[in-house]
Structure 1
Amino acid sequence: MDFARLWLGLLLPLVAALDFSYHHQEEMEAFLKSVAQNYSSITHLHSIGKSVKGRNLWVLVVGRSPKEHRIGIPEFKYVANMHGDETVGRELLLHLIDYLVTSDGKDLEITNLINSTRIHIMPSMNPDGFENVKKPDCFYSNGRENDNFYDLNRNFPDAFEFNNETRQPETVAVMEWLKTETFVLSANLHGGALVASYPFDNGIPATGTLHYRSLTPDDDVFQYLANTYASRNPNMKGDQCKSKMNFPNGITNGYSWYPLKGELLFISTILLIACTQR
């Protein structure tokens, strides 16, 4: 390990401890800006666009070269809070940011991760929806959609059929963002079932829909990734909401679960228990 970096890590100023509560837009922005200021050598904070109500869609990048791509360094992204009432992922990503920056130079595994990967973290794709949530339940609450009442997870172009939904500002911002980086792996944190879901979520007979599945050409890789995640989380034994769904080994093909048109397609969509649905 680089002991000079370890010593530097011990000297870096610490961000104020992130409490275990829900953080509204101003609190989230203050935390992200504090991280970007105090850990400027390994972070880069930028907004990829604005929501319907004009709230910034923040992305914090963590890496040894946070402002630019370097050859041989893979680009990874996390997105959460796409549905405004699915709030657990939003807070998990804020705590992940806190853990990454405060562990750099102190924890060998985290230091190696930051050395070898450029990590893009968007805690909230739907900040307007989050602010609109009043009383969530296991099936639906106000705030799931954006402020124009569009479900952002049905709003993207679909690989298999035409999606005529009007593109929303949040959707367009993410689509433009995807053009600027060479992401090789991604995950989307939802609330609902306790399962790691892998693509495709829509399909045609050639992808296996006649057999109630829709598989990518790299299905073995995606199943491996989903199994790796689920196997390290012993509680992934099924849905603890009222639907009582059961997922063998804690994973599912998205189409096998149920077909979905216009989703933001990720290599592995990790769904977190929070009593709402994707």
Structure 2
Amino acid sequence: MTYETSRTPTPSAADPQVSPSGRRPGWNKVPEVTVYFWVIKVLCTTVGETAADLLNEKAGLGLTGVSVLMSALLAVVLVVQFRTSAYRAGVYWLAVALISVVGTLISDNLTDNMGVPLETSTTVFAIILAIVFVVWYRRERTLSIHHIDTTSRESYYWLAVLFTFALGTAAGDLVSERMDLGYWLSAVLFGLSIAAVALAHFALGLDAVWSFWIAYILTRPLGASIGDYLSQPSGDGGLGLGTVITSALFLVVILGLVIYLSVTRKDVAQPQNAARHAV
């Protein structure tokens, strides 16, 4: 029987892998959280920052036009992602890269086109993300990414991811620009914050689900700060590589890692591993 996420499969005695709830153990639609996951995630956030700047500068569509174009492209890729029967590295990470760009553009539109203060947008995105988590938990009784195995859970997952990127963009800009720390010090600050979350999880027992999502949010401003540091002119505190070179460099690395994972399947959740995850 082919497992489809667009509908819940009917439990069958002929398929002992299908639970009475209609879920099939091990058919998670997101990758295992390994070092590859975090490396590619940070690289995607960097590309999200530099690619958004590049498109805004070169496409000639204006910030609003670029936002509409990238949102439409993201919608197409998400349709493909939802229609896949299981995790596919290429489709999944393309969706993450595009959602990083769109999340950046949402925040930039609010700040640049509508004049919304970064303090306000950061607060609003935090509230929206909290609402997504509350509704997700009330409906599914879990926020774990080890069980993104139904269309409903996948919908909440991608909605949460979108607002983590928007929140991370606004919060990162608030720290690096309004607090005048600069790109390099901002990257160090967010890197140390992620390390503190990891320490709290492994040494102090901070809940695994919340540790993951806090770190996930913090990787967005970390990657953005790295991208800005590499791409912005030296007079503005960067290395002056430009958005073209920086975006191309990181895209090549992402592509290489995704091809490697597609071949080796090192980040594919195994049924026995999925069954062991309690969160």
TM-score, length of structure 1 as denominator length:
0.28
* Greater RCO, 1 or 2 (C-alpha within 8 Å, sep 6+): 2
TM-score, length of structure 2 as denominator length:
0.28
Normalized per residue, the structure richer in helix is: 2
